[in-house]
Amino acid sequence: MKLHRLLPAFLLALSLHAEKPAPEVVPLTPIAASQETFVKDGQLSGAVTLVWKDGTLVSHEAVGFQDLETQTPMQKDSLFWIASMTKPITALGIMMLADDGKLSIDDPVEKHLPEFKGQLLQKEKTEAQTVLVKPARAITIKDLLTHTSGLVGNSPLDGDAIDVLTLKEAVITYALSPLQFEPGSKWSYCNPGINTLGRIIEVVSGEEYARFLEKRLFKPLRMKNTTFWPNKSDLKKLATSYKPTVDGKSLEIAQIKYLTPPYSNKKRTPLAAGGLFSTAEDLLKLYQMVLNNGEVDRKRYVSAESLALMTQNHTEDLKAGFTEGMGMGLGFQIVVTPTGATSTLSPGTYGHGGAHGTQGWIDPVKKTIHILLIQRAGLKNGDASPMRQAFHEAAAKDLP
């Protein structure tokens, strides 16, 4: 056989034995690196970060693992339980109905939910007796939006009743419970108050709460991965939630009612106060609409006037929020005096956190959107977590 016929086979053999070049390592941006530090320290399984500024996606990255046991890498489109980040979305539903002329935020709750008529205030409680009196005024929708209603703090939907009670049934238990303080006199974070807003949406709109949000927000905004009930396809992207072990040296799965199968069981009540699952990309679509005064692609979702009300501080001198310098809008928490974890944000920044450390904030001065998605139970204070502070600080340095 001639040499020229052997040469191609010889060259092919050489190429098969040649060392393959090492894959290019793309360095993390400071924003993603701020969370990678916690992953390496064993404080986080993983994180998705997103920063958007004035029409430009500055950063959207994933670090660590979606699941530690299977070593599934975290992805940019991983799905998270966003917990109380649901609250401003519920508030948006209320304000959309206000825009429709179907309610006013100054309406007494009893106007729409008659079970609240005659609700009493717990004036005094001792081992011997409980003294109930008539409150100075009835609670309003605005009181619910600002966590100043005085409604009972515990919800039956926080426990096993989540698979049994509907929003309607749970809200009846709130109405039958005495108020804990005079409406408007104090700020006290209140899941039952937001669940009551969900029920008001049902009564006023004539549609189930989850269906209303799907029809009016999620579907038209193309938020395809936002749901109260993740299906089998969604579960492939669901980030596992973890908490520190007793010795604090590693992480273990955090078992809570809302993060246990069957995820797609629609008998589980859609919690207006904290039931949604979502992704960074979906949340960006929602927040872009809000930052754009309620309009996207020539479609108006909520009026600019309603958003102005939602994003101003209504609690004034009342101590509000979970970090210093905070106030309360309608569903949104407001940064009044940037301090600590919020120190790099502008006064007037608004947003909300979730139980397992998720955060979403809109800075209207710098026209930026900050989204941090983690699933970390056991944080002393998710709004003041070292993860959140590191994220905001890195974003401030990395923004153009």
- The pLDDT tens digits for 173-216 are 999 999 999 999 999 999 999 999 999 999 999 999 999 999 99
Mean pLDDT value across residues 326-353 = 98
Q: What is the DSSP track for 275-319?
A: --EE-HHHHHHHHHHHHTTTEETTEESS-HHHHHHHTS--STTS-
Vertex 187 angle, CA 203 and 102, to 5°: 25
**What CA–CA distance (Å, rounded) separates 211 from 174?**
23
Give the phi and the psi of residue 233 in degrees, each rounded to 5.
-65, -40
For position 57, what pLDDT does the model report? Answer: 96
**What CA–CA distance (Å, rounded) separates 252 from 145?**
35
**What CA–CA distance (Å, rounded) separates 256 from 81?**
11
Please name which of 198, 201, 128 lies closest in space to residue 167, comparing C-alpha atoms.
198
Q: Poorest-confidence range of 115-129, 251-265, 274-288, 302-316? A: 251-265
Q: Is 149 helix (H, G, I), strand (E, B) or coil?
A: coil
Ordered by where they begin, the domains of the chain are 30-81+230-251+275-398 (3.40.710.10), 90-209 (3.40.710.10)
How deeply is 201 buried, as exposed, middle or buried, from its count of CB atoms within 10 A (0-12, 13-18, 19+)? buried
Given a cut of 60, whether residue 392 has pLDDT beyond it is yes
Mean pLDDT value across residues 141-162 = 88
Within 10 A of 348 (CB to CB), how many other CB atoms are there?
18
Dump pLDDT digits (tens) for 8-47.
554 445 454 555 555 555 678 899 999 999 999 999 999 9
pLDDT band for 218, please (50, 70, 90 cuts). Answer: very high
For position 3, what pLDDT does the model report? Answer: 45
**What CA–CA distance (Å, rounded) separates 188 from 151?**
9
pLDDT band for 1, please (50, 70, 90 cuts). Answer: very low
For position 19, what pLDDT does the model report? Answer: 55
